[in-house]
Amino acid sequence: MLCNDDSCTGCGTCVNICPKDCIYVQYDKNGFLMPYINDKECIRCGRCDDICPILNTVERGNYAEPVCYAGWNKDEKVRQYSTSGGIFSALAEYVFSLGGIVCGVVLDHDLRPYHTVATCMNEINKMRGSKYLQSDTKLIFRRVKEALLLNKYVLFSGCPCQVVGLYAFLRDRNKEYDRLITCEVICHGVPSTKVFSWYKTYLEEKAGSPIINVNFRSKKYGWQTVAIGLHYLNSKKETIKASNSLFFRAFYSSLIVRESCTECLYASLPRNADITIGDYWHAVVQNYSNKNRKKGISLILVNNSKAVNIISALQDKIFFEPITLQDATADNTNINSLEAINPKRNDFLREFSSSNINYMMNKYFPITFKDRISIILGRKMIYRVKYFLKLK
């Protein structure tokens, strides 16, 4: 029962559908959420297999080519505290105006992400910003269904596998829910929570204080420069650029990404969510002001007619600029392609917990000539050179 471990996304659909609550998730040896069955309680009903989005592909009939926009929230404060342009916050405000609820991701006291429900904008603050770890969906799909059966509007935000997991769960009753709005992030795969905990411990020992909050996408150096912001119990604050962070470098190199992410069924067009959002990295080579590039520009994919109507309702809240699908995918390859597995992945995961940070950095990320050029020129110039070479 259940799909095999290598294919499992950890979406939690099986946990939510189980009538005996005998399926639970916990972290495996590499730090990825995996479902397990209590055989003593299992009644062999097969519902977990019947709705698993890996064993039963979810296809919603969305646009083969989405309507694409670059955009940002017109509220500068919201934009500042968002990963990109603040689109999620505008969607949340829209749903609250209709008397609905929002399901998004927050961090617990151990800085592990999980899905929960917000009922007003004051509760959205903790949901803003990307969490570069897989969230535990817990029993959130049941809460979504309860709200929909009460005829409430619901905005659900998550990774593509979590969005299709929700649709698979709701499909169990063969009912369409017009008041459900889904928003997925452009996903690069989910990194190991165990590796992040190891990295976090290193930072805490170095600072002599526990980390009480983390912003995985601090804008201290501007949106174009990926950096992690840390807040320690002793009031110390620190911002580390991704280029200097072992965690981020390992993540972007696919050394610590969940294995199933490298064969994801849902990292392609057509997308399954109503709306897809992410960073519009191609803006770096386009004619946006430096001020706008520093503040953050979102990429928005409108995947069906329902989403077209929602976007129309947000014109007063968001600045939209139509772009082509070619521009949308130019520097966001994960819209329509998979992460390649790094051949050194297993070595890294086997080795990291018994090694120190400096050793791992020197072994897996020695400074190269290309790195030195990147440091000198910066991200903006690198993108411009890449864009120029594409045109040649």
Dihedral sign computed on CA atoms, order 252, 256, 262, 268: negative
pLDDT at res. 381: 52
pLDDT at res. 374: 62
More confident residue, 191 or 374: 191
Task: Flag whether pLDDT at 379 surpasses 80.
Answer: no
Task: Flag whether pLDDT at 388 surpasses 50.
Answer: no
pLDDT at res. 46: 96
Helix residue spans in the chain (DSSP H): 13-17, 47-51, 76-80, 87-97, 140-149, 160-171, 193-207, 246-252, 290-295, 305-313, 325-330, 345-351, 357-364, 369-391
In the chain, what percentage of residues exceed pLDDT 70? 93
pLDDT at res. 380: 53
Domain limits, the chain: 62-392
Mean pLDDT over 1-22 rounds to: 95
* CA–CA distances in Å: residue 55 to residues 16, 83, 263: 16, 33, 14
Mean pLDDT over 76-96 rounds to: 97
Mean pLDDT over 5-31 rounds to: 97
Task: Flag whether pLDDT at 232 surpasses 70.
Answer: yes
pLDDT at res. 391: 47
Task: Flag whether pLDDT at 54 surpasses 70.
Answer: yes
- Given a contact cutoff of 8 angstroms between Cβ atoms, the answer to whether 66 and 276 are in contact is yes
In the chain, what percentage of residues exceed pLDDT 90? 86
pLDDT at res. 103: 99
Task: Flag whether pLDDT at 290 surpasses 90.
Answer: no
pLDDT at res. 231: 98
Residue 291: band (very low, low, confident or very high) from pLDDT cuts 50, 70, 90: confident
More confident residue, 292 or 113: 113
pLDDT in tens, 207-222: 999 999 999 999 999 9
pLDDT at res. 172: 65
Task: Flag whether pLDDT at 157 surpasses 60.
Answer: yes
DSSP 10-29: ---HHHHH-TT--EEEEE-T
Task: Flag whether pLDDT at 254 surpasses 60.
Answer: yes
- Given a contact cutoff of 8 angstroms between Cβ atoms, the answer to whether 155 and 248 are in contact is no
Nearest CA among 273, 251, 298, 299 for reference residue 160: 273
